[in-house]
């Protein structure tokens, strides 16, 4: 087989490989931009999750404080009625 016929046989293979490489590079660029968008969305969701977690902890603390205040008021009220009964 002569050199010219080898080159003409390899030319379509080289052309196909170059086209395949170009397709792979385009797909890589698309996937890279999609990954960047997903990374940004994940970061926003993490931030939102952290903020909501803080709000939940704050609400739980406030609820506990309100419950303690209520219990103290109930205790003070009970002690007040006990002292009135004791004095009589």
d(CA 54, CA 48): 10
pTM of the model: 0.59
What does 18-71 look like in DSSP terms, one character per residue?
HHHHHHHHHHHHHHHHHHHHHHHHHHHHHHHHHHHHHHHHHHHHHHHHHHHHHH
**According to the model, what pLDDT value does residue 84 have?**
56
User: Which pLDDT value is given to residue 3?
Assistant: 53
pLDDT along the chain (88 residues), means of 10: 61 90 98 98 98 98 97 86 60
Number of H helices, E strands in the chain: 1, 0
């Amino acid at each position: 087989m002569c050199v010219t016929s080898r080159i003409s046989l390899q030319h379509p293979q080289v052309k196909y490989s170059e086209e395949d490489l170009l397709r792979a590079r385009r797909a890589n660029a698309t996937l890279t931009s999609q990954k960047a968008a997903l990374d940004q969305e994940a970061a926003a969701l993490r931030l939102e999750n952290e903020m909501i977690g803080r709000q939940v902890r704050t609400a739980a603390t406030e609820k506990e404080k309100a419950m303690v205040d209520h219990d103290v008021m109930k205790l003070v009220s009970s002690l007040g009625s006990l002292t009135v009964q004791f004095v009589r």
